[in-house]
């Protein structure tokens, strides 16, 4: 499936870049995800274009609560463990889809 947007891919680094021209984010242990909202329609797309909207209803519901009606967010879907750290095994198991 050809997508209008492309996800950014994580790049390993030895140190956090500094200076006003740099932005960065922490890479959690999850799946890259694109959240697209067009009015009342929300789609969650994986890196290869698979629609995960039904698999991750919590993210879709949160997108609908945003006052903006049109946006695309390049992010990462994760399941957090009780310690607040992302748990890839829980995400991959599909037993915690309602928590993604």
Active site residues: 27
Judge whether 56 and 46 are in contact, CB under 8 Å.
no
Q: How far is residue 7's CA from residue 62's CA, in Å, rounded to a whole number?
A: 20
Judge whether 63 and 35 are in contact, CB under 8 Å.
yes
Judge whether 94 and 87 are in contact, CB under 8 Å.
no
């Amino acid at each position: 499936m050809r997508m209008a947007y492309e996800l950014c891919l994580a790049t390993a680094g030895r140190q956090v870049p500094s200076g006003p021209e740099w932005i960065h984010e922490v890479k959690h242990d999850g799946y890259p995800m694109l959240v697209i909202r067009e009015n009342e329609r929300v789609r969650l797309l994986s890196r290869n274009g698979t629609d995960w909207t039904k698999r991750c209803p919590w993210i879709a519901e949160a997108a609908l609560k945003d006052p903006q009606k049109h946006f695309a967010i390049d992010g990462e879907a994760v399941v957090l463990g009780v310690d607040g750290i992302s748990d890839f095994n829980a995400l991959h198991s599909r037993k915690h889809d309602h928590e993604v």
